[in-house]
Amino acid sequence: MLGKGLHPNVAFGAVFLMGVVFTGISVTGVRSWILRNLSTGIAHGTGIGIGLFLLLIAANDVGLVVKNPGAGLPVSLGNITALPALMSVAGLAAIFGLVRRRVPGSILIMIVAISAIALAIDPAVAFHGVFAVPSLSAPAHASLIGAMDIKGALSMAVLPSVLALVMTAVFDATGTIRAVAGQADQLDENGRIINGGRALMADSVSSIFSGLLGGASAAAYIESTVGVAADAKTGMAAAVVGLLFLGRDVLLTVRGPRAFVCDRACADVRGSADALERE
Protein backbone atom coordinates (compact mmCIF):
# COMPACT_ATOMS: atom_id res chain seq x y z
CA MET A 1 0.00 0.00 0.00
CA LEU A 2 2.86 2.36 0.71
CA GLY A 3 4.13 1.53 -2.77
CA LYS A 4 0.92 3.04 -4.14
CA GLY A 5 1.71 6.35 -2.44
CA LEU A 6 -0.94 5.92 0.26
CA HIS A 7 -0.54 7.51 3.67
CA PRO A 8 0.42 5.13 6.51
CA ASN A 9 -2.80 6.06 8.33
CA VAL A 10 -4.72 4.52 5.44
CA ALA A 11 -2.66 1.36 5.89
CA PHE A 12 -3.64 1.26 9.56
CA GLY A 13 -7.26 1.68 8.52
CA ALA A 14 -6.89 -1.26 6.14
CA VAL A 15 -5.48 -3.38 8.99
CA PHE A 16 -8.46 -2.42 11.15
CA LEU A 17 -10.96 -3.35 8.42
CA MET A 18 -9.14 -6.62 7.88
CA GLY A 19 -9.50 -7.36 11.59
CA VAL A 20 -13.23 -6.66 11.49
CA VAL A 21 -13.78 -8.93 8.49
CA PHE A 22 -11.45 -11.53 9.96
CA THR A 23 -13.43 -11.55 13.22
CA GLY A 24 -16.69 -11.84 11.28
CA ILE A 25 -15.35 -14.89 9.47
CA SER A 26 -14.42 -16.43 12.81
CA VAL A 27 -17.78 -15.62 14.46
CA THR A 28 -19.80 -17.11 11.62
CA GLY A 29 -17.88 -20.37 11.83
CA VAL A 30 -16.33 -20.13 8.36
CA ARG A 31 -12.83 -20.23 9.77
CA SER A 32 -13.67 -23.20 11.98
CA TRP A 33 -14.98 -24.99 8.91
CA ILE A 34 -11.72 -24.29 7.07
CA LEU A 35 -9.76 -25.57 10.06
CA ARG A 36 -11.82 -28.76 10.32
CA ASN A 37 -11.30 -29.51 6.64
CA LEU A 38 -7.63 -28.58 6.57
CA SER A 39 -5.65 -31.71 5.76
CA THR A 40 -2.71 -32.72 7.91
CA GLY A 41 -0.34 -32.30 4.98
CA ILE A 42 -1.44 -28.73 4.32
CA ALA A 43 -1.31 -27.88 8.03
CA HIS A 44 2.26 -29.17 8.38
CA GLY A 45 3.25 -27.67 5.04
CA THR A 46 2.02 -24.23 6.16
CA GLY A 47 4.22 -24.28 9.24
CA ILE A 48 7.24 -25.53 7.31
CA GLY A 49 6.71 -23.01 4.51
CA ILE A 50 6.49 -20.06 6.91
CA GLY A 51 9.60 -21.29 8.70
CA LEU A 52 11.55 -21.48 5.44
CA PHE A 53 10.35 -17.99 4.51
CA LEU A 54 11.64 -16.64 7.82
CA LEU A 55 14.92 -18.46 7.20
CA LEU A 56 15.21 -16.68 3.85
CA ILE A 57 14.63 -13.30 5.52
CA ALA A 58 17.28 -14.07 8.16
CA ALA A 59 19.73 -15.25 5.49
CA ASN A 60 19.25 -11.98 3.63
CA ASP A 61 19.78 -9.94 6.79
CA VAL A 62 23.18 -11.55 7.46
CA GLY A 63 24.28 -11.51 3.82
CA LEU A 64 24.07 -15.24 3.07
CA VAL A 65 21.78 -14.40 0.17
CA VAL A 66 21.34 -11.08 -1.64
CA LYS A 67 18.93 -9.70 -4.19
CA ASN A 68 19.74 -10.85 -7.69
CA PRO A 69 19.80 -7.80 -9.99
CA GLY A 70 19.91 -9.93 -13.12
CA ALA A 71 17.71 -12.56 -14.70
CA GLY A 72 16.91 -15.85 -13.04
CA LEU A 73 16.14 -16.47 -9.39
CA PRO A 74 15.20 -13.46 -7.25
CA VAL A 75 18.11 -14.09 -4.88
CA SER A 76 21.73 -15.12 -5.31
CA LEU A 77 24.47 -16.33 -2.99
CA GLY A 78 26.05 -13.60 -0.92
CA ASN A 79 29.43 -13.31 0.72
CA ILE A 80 29.46 -16.54 2.72
CA THR A 81 32.94 -15.83 4.11
CA ALA A 82 31.88 -12.60 5.80
CA LEU A 83 31.87 -12.60 9.59
CA PRO A 84 28.07 -12.13 10.02
CA ALA A 85 27.37 -15.06 7.69
CA LEU A 86 29.89 -17.34 9.38
CA MET A 87 28.62 -16.43 12.86
CA SER A 88 25.03 -17.05 11.81
CA VAL A 89 25.77 -20.48 10.37
CA ALA A 90 27.80 -21.43 13.44
CA GLY A 91 25.05 -20.22 15.74
CA LEU A 92 22.39 -22.11 13.81
CA ALA A 93 24.44 -25.30 13.97
CA ALA A 94 24.93 -24.82 17.71
CA ILE A 95 21.19 -24.34 18.17
CA PHE A 96 20.54 -27.63 16.35
CA GLY A 97 22.98 -29.38 18.67
CA LEU A 98 21.51 -27.88 21.86
CA VAL A 99 17.94 -28.61 20.79
CA ARG A 100 18.98 -32.18 19.95
CA ARG A 101 20.36 -32.52 23.48
CA ARG A 102 17.14 -30.98 24.87
CA VAL A 103 18.94 -28.10 26.58
CA PRO A 104 16.32 -25.71 28.03
CA GLY A 105 16.40 -22.24 26.46
CA SER A 106 18.85 -23.34 23.77
CA ILE A 107 17.80 -20.68 21.25
CA LEU A 108 17.96 -17.87 23.81
CA ILE A 109 21.35 -19.10 25.01
CA MET A 110 22.79 -18.93 21.50
CA ILE A 111 21.25 -15.51 20.81
CA VAL A 112 23.01 -14.12 23.88
CA ALA A 113 26.25 -15.97 23.10
CA ILE A 114 26.43 -14.90 19.45
CA SER A 115 25.57 -11.32 20.39
CA ALA A 116 28.35 -11.23 22.99
CA ILE A 117 30.90 -12.72 20.58
CA ALA A 118 29.92 -10.32 17.80
CA LEU A 119 30.17 -7.37 20.19
CA ALA A 120 33.68 -8.45 21.10
CA ILE A 121 35.13 -9.17 17.64
CA ASP A 122 32.97 -7.35 15.07
CA PRO A 123 33.66 -3.58 14.86
CA ALA A 124 30.35 -3.10 13.02
CA VAL A 125 28.41 -4.19 16.12
CA ALA A 126 27.90 -1.43 18.68
CA PHE A 127 26.44 -1.59 22.18
CA HIS A 128 23.41 0.70 22.64
CA GLY A 129 22.37 -0.35 26.13
CA VAL A 130 20.28 -3.09 27.67
CA PHE A 131 16.98 -1.18 27.80
CA ALA A 132 15.38 1.15 25.25
CA VAL A 133 13.35 4.19 26.25
CA PRO A 134 9.89 3.87 24.66
CA SER A 135 8.28 6.55 22.54
CA LEU A 136 4.73 6.90 21.24
CA SER A 137 5.70 9.22 18.42
CA ALA A 138 8.55 10.29 16.19
CA PRO A 139 9.80 13.81 15.46
CA ALA A 140 7.20 15.76 13.46
CA HIS A 141 4.68 12.92 13.87
CA ALA A 142 1.87 12.56 16.38
CA SER A 143 1.10 9.31 18.17
CA LEU A 144 0.14 6.43 15.90
CA ILE A 145 -2.50 5.18 18.34
CA GLY A 146 -5.91 5.83 16.82
CA ALA A 147 -4.33 7.40 13.72
CA MET A 148 -6.03 4.98 11.29
CA ASP A 149 -7.97 6.42 8.35
CA ILE A 150 -10.95 4.08 7.86
CA LYS A 151 -12.60 6.31 5.27
CA GLY A 152 -9.47 6.27 3.14
CA ALA A 153 -9.19 2.50 3.52
CA LEU A 154 -12.72 2.10 2.13
CA SER A 155 -11.69 3.58 -1.23
CA MET A 156 -11.65 1.34 -4.28
CA ALA A 157 -7.88 1.71 -4.53
CA VAL A 158 -7.35 0.16 -1.10
CA LEU A 159 -10.13 -2.43 -0.83
CA PRO A 160 -8.23 -5.00 -2.95
CA SER A 161 -5.36 -4.72 -0.46
CA VAL A 162 -7.81 -5.25 2.41
CA LEU A 163 -9.11 -8.38 0.67
CA ALA A 164 -5.54 -9.62 0.21
CA LEU A 165 -4.86 -9.08 3.92
CA VAL A 166 -8.02 -11.01 4.81
CA MET A 167 -7.15 -13.96 2.59
CA THR A 168 -3.61 -14.07 3.94
CA ALA A 169 -4.84 -13.90 7.52
CA VAL A 170 -7.47 -16.60 7.06
CA PHE A 171 -5.22 -19.25 5.56
CA ASP A 172 -1.83 -18.26 6.96
CA ALA A 173 -2.91 -17.74 10.57
CA THR A 174 -5.31 -20.69 10.52
CA GLY A 175 -2.59 -23.04 9.35
CA THR A 176 -0.20 -21.56 11.90
CA ILE A 177 -2.64 -22.12 14.76
CA ARG A 178 -3.03 -25.73 13.66
CA ALA A 179 0.76 -26.18 13.65
CA VAL A 180 1.21 -24.57 17.08
CA ALA A 181 -1.63 -26.64 18.55
CA GLY A 182 -0.01 -29.79 17.20
CA GLN A 183 3.29 -28.86 18.87
CA ALA A 184 1.41 -28.28 22.13
CA ASP A 185 -0.41 -31.63 21.95
CA GLN A 186 -3.73 -29.79 21.86
CA LEU A 187 -5.30 -31.90 19.11
CA ASP A 188 -8.02 -34.47 19.75
CA GLU A 189 -8.22 -37.93 18.23
CA ASN A 190 -9.72 -36.45 15.05
CA GLY A 191 -6.89 -33.96 14.63
CA ARG A 192 -9.01 -30.97 15.68
CA ILE A 193 -7.83 -28.24 18.04
CA ILE A 194 -9.13 -28.57 21.58
CA ASN A 195 -11.06 -25.36 22.42
CA GLY A 196 -10.12 -24.13 18.97
CA GLY A 197 -12.94 -21.59 18.86
CA ARG A 198 -11.36 -19.55 21.66
CA ALA A 199 -7.99 -19.53 19.94
CA LEU A 200 -9.50 -18.45 16.64
CA MET A 201 -11.50 -15.64 18.24
CA ALA A 202 -8.53 -14.28 20.20
CA ASP A 203 -6.43 -14.41 17.05
CA SER A 204 -9.05 -12.51 15.05
CA VAL A 205 -9.84 -9.79 17.60
CA SER A 206 -6.13 -9.02 18.06
CA SER A 207 -5.99 -7.77 14.47
CA ILE A 208 -8.63 -5.13 15.24
CA PHE A 209 -6.55 -3.77 18.10
CA SER A 210 -3.48 -3.78 15.86
CA GLY A 211 -5.09 -1.20 13.60
CA LEU A 212 -6.27 0.84 16.58
CA LEU A 213 -2.77 0.94 18.04
CA GLY A 214 -1.06 1.77 14.74
CA GLY A 215 0.67 -1.51 14.03
CA ALA A 216 0.79 -4.32 11.52
CA SER A 217 -1.83 -7.04 11.66
CA ALA A 218 -1.41 -9.30 14.68
CA ALA A 219 -2.01 -13.01 14.40
CA ALA A 220 -0.63 -16.34 15.50
CA TYR A 221 3.08 -16.67 14.69
CA ILE A 222 4.92 -19.86 13.86
CA GLU A 223 7.67 -18.74 16.26
CA SER A 224 5.27 -19.67 19.07
CA THR A 225 6.19 -23.31 18.48
CA VAL A 226 9.61 -22.54 19.99
CA GLY A 227 8.06 -21.53 23.29
CA VAL A 228 5.63 -24.43 23.14
CA ALA A 229 8.52 -26.84 22.60
CA ALA A 230 10.02 -25.43 25.83
CA ASP A 231 6.80 -26.46 27.65
CA ALA A 232 5.10 -23.04 27.54
CA LYS A 233 1.76 -24.63 26.69
CA THR A 234 -0.82 -23.14 29.06
CA GLY A 235 -0.59 -19.48 28.06
CA MET A 236 0.83 -18.54 31.44
CA ALA A 237 4.23 -17.71 29.94
CA ALA A 238 2.65 -15.30 27.45
CA ALA A 239 0.60 -13.67 30.21
CA VAL A 240 3.64 -13.23 32.46
CA VAL A 241 5.75 -11.75 29.66
CA GLY A 242 2.92 -9.39 28.71
CA LEU A 243 2.55 -8.21 32.31
CA LEU A 244 6.30 -7.66 32.59
CA PHE A 245 6.29 -5.52 29.45
CA LEU A 246 3.27 -3.60 30.75
CA GLY A 247 4.93 -3.05 34.12
CA ARG A 248 8.08 -1.80 32.44
CA ASP A 249 6.11 0.70 30.36
CA VAL A 250 4.17 1.93 33.39
CA LEU A 251 7.43 2.34 35.32
CA LEU A 252 9.01 4.33 32.51
CA THR A 253 5.90 6.49 32.26
CA VAL A 254 5.91 7.28 35.98
CA ARG A 255 9.60 8.13 35.89
CA GLY A 256 9.22 10.50 32.97
CA PRO A 257 10.20 8.98 29.58
CA ARG A 258 7.51 8.43 27.02
CA ALA A 259 6.40 4.83 27.16
CA PHE A 260 6.20 2.82 24.01
CA VAL A 261 8.78 0.95 21.97
CA CYS A 262 8.46 1.45 18.21
CA ASP A 263 9.73 -1.60 16.34
CA ARG A 264 11.40 -1.70 12.94
CA ALA A 265 8.09 -2.05 11.13
CA CYS A 266 6.82 1.11 12.80
CA ALA A 267 10.04 2.90 11.90
CA ASP A 268 9.63 1.82 8.28
CA VAL A 269 6.09 3.22 8.22
CA ARG A 270 7.23 6.53 9.67
CA GLY A 271 10.10 6.69 7.23
CA SER A 272 7.64 6.20 4.38
CA ALA A 273 5.45 8.92 5.83
CA ASP A 274 8.43 11.31 5.87
CA ALA A 275 9.18 10.49 2.23
CA LEU A 276 5.57 11.12 1.22
CA GLU A 277 5.49 14.46 3.03
CA ARG A 278 8.73 15.59 1.38
CA GLU A 279 7.22 14.81 -2.02
Per-residue pLDDT of the chain (279 residues; tens, 9 = 90+): 556 667 778 888 888 888 888 888 888 878 778 777 777 777 777 777 877 888 888 888 888 888 888 777 788 888 888 888 888 889 889 988 988 888 888 888 888 898 888 888 888 777 776 666 666 665 566 667 777 788 888 888 788 888 887 887 777 777 777 777 777 777 777 777 777 777 778 777 887 887 777 777 766 666 677 777 777 777 788 788 888 877 766 665 554 444 333 343 344 434 433 443 334
Q: What is the pLDDT of residue 13?
A: 83
d(CA 214, CA 8): 9
pLDDT reported for residue 137: 60
| Domain region containing 44 | 2-129+139-231
Predicted local distance difference test score (pLDDT) of residue 249: 65
Rg (the chain; Cα; Å) = 21
Closest Cα partner for 47 from 192, 180, 167?
Answer: 180
Residue 270 has a pLDDT of 40
CB atoms within 10 A of CB 226: 15
Q: What's the confidence (pLDDT) of residue 264?
A: 39
Provide the pLDDT for residue 138. 54
pLDDT at 162: 82
Would 265 be classed as within a structural domain? no
**Number of domains comprising the chain:** 1
CA–CA distances in Å: residue 87 to residues 97, 110, 124, 154, 271 = 15, 11, 13, 47, 30
Number of CB atoms found within 10 A of residue 274's CB: 14
Single-letter code of the amino acid located at 277: E
Amino acid sitting at position 84:
P
Position 268 scores a pLDDT of 41
Within a domain: 115: yes
Residue 241 lies in a domain: no
Q: Is residue 200 part of a domain?
A: yes
The secondary structure of the chain, three-state, reads: CHHHCCCHHHHHHHHHHHHHHHHHHHHCCHHHHHHHCCCHHHHHHHHHHHHHHHHHHHHHHCCCEEECCCCCCCEEECCCCCHHHHHHHHHHHHHHHHHHCCCCCHHHHHHHHHHHHHHHHCCCCCCCCCCCCCCCCCCCCCCCCCCCCHHHHCCCCCHHHHHHHHHHHHHHHHHHHHHHHHHCCCECCCCCECCHHHHHHHHHHHHHHHHHCCCCCCCCCCCHHHHHHCCCCCCHHHHHHHHHHHHHHHHHHHHCCCCCCCCHHHHHHHHHHHHHHHC
Structural domain contains residue 248? no
HSE (CB half, 13 Å, CA atoms) of 176? 21
Residue 160 forms part of a structural domain: yes
